[in-house]
Amino acid sequence: MDKQQLAFVFPGQGSQKVGMLAELGAEYPIVKACFEEASEALGYDMWSMVQNGEQEQLNLTENTQPILLTASVAVWRLWCQRGGMTPGVMAGHSLGEFSALVCAGALSFSDAVRLVRARGQAMQTAVPVGVGAMAAVLGLEDQQILSICESISGDEVVEAVNFNSPGQVVIAGHAGAVEKAINALKEAGAKRAMLLPVSAPFHTSLMKPAGEKLEEALETIPVSSPSIPVIHNVHAQTESDAEAIKALLVKQIYSPVKWVDCVEAMIARGVETGVECGPGKVLSGLNKRIHKPLNCLNIDCPDSLAATLAAIAGE
């Protein structure tokens, strides 16, 4: 396989669960070493929280973000240690974009761990718990959803925030406006429109205060040009300029995640195989719906690591 045919993708919030990567950690010391490095940066035992903590604790966004970043970086380092092929391009869903930038050498790991914890805290405090909400909408065209959200938004806002796959869009905003939108979307023929167990309306304009805090945090953090191109959520393009990357990371907090466009951009570059680097298979499922011929693999346990190494070496 030519490396241009290979993409690595990094999961975002929702892929975390207690006990994740336990088998990889038991078999490969590099995984736990990565968690130790992150724990040192944040001042608490992250591996212990992941293996023995409560799911509620893992779901707090200020914990979820550094934990998922660390899990993805650990899997990437293991992949490199095992002689896995370097991909031609990378992308990450929301938080996963930070994981991609670390693995592409644009951000240092310890800086990124601290940065995403600050990002999580800023996102959580931007809108008080209970004021905002998010909901998944299945079975409607993007344009219908955008129109309905626009018609409901006034003093309270509701916006389409994650374009995850054809027929699967996430909306978010003020809880009351989201509730109204759910009812209107069902009336318009949505197969499902259901609230998500999320504590803040991510990727909406309500997150602008969090963007300002992230911008401040980024001022002191060095960013360099990635050694592997990273496709960004905001505009589904790659970027090599460090200041432009910082600006995109800030904008991403209060802008929609254009995941469909990101995957289509990979396909346009000649990607035929996508590897989900980190816990779960959420992105593999989305990617297959976006582009059926895409060969979707994942790495989150020894068996899937071996299978992915063999599949890519064999092509």
Catalytic positions, please? 94, 203
Query: What Rg value do the Cα atoms of the chain yield, rounded?
Result: 19
Strand 295-299, strand 273-277: pairing:
parallel
Phi, psi (deg, nearest 5) at residue 213: -65, -40
| Residues 179, 166: Cα–Cα separation, whole Å | 22
Query: What is residue 60's three-state secondary structure?
Result: coil
In angstroms, how far is the first alpha carbon of the chain from the final one?
Answer: 5
Query: What is residue 137's three-state secondary structure?
Result: strand
Which residue's structure tokens are 């718990």?
A: 129
| Residues 154, 258: Cα–Cα separation, whole Å | 24
Helix (H) or strand (E) holding 168: strand 168-174
Structure tokens at 311: 């599949």
| Residues 175, 132: Cα–Cα separation, whole Å | 5
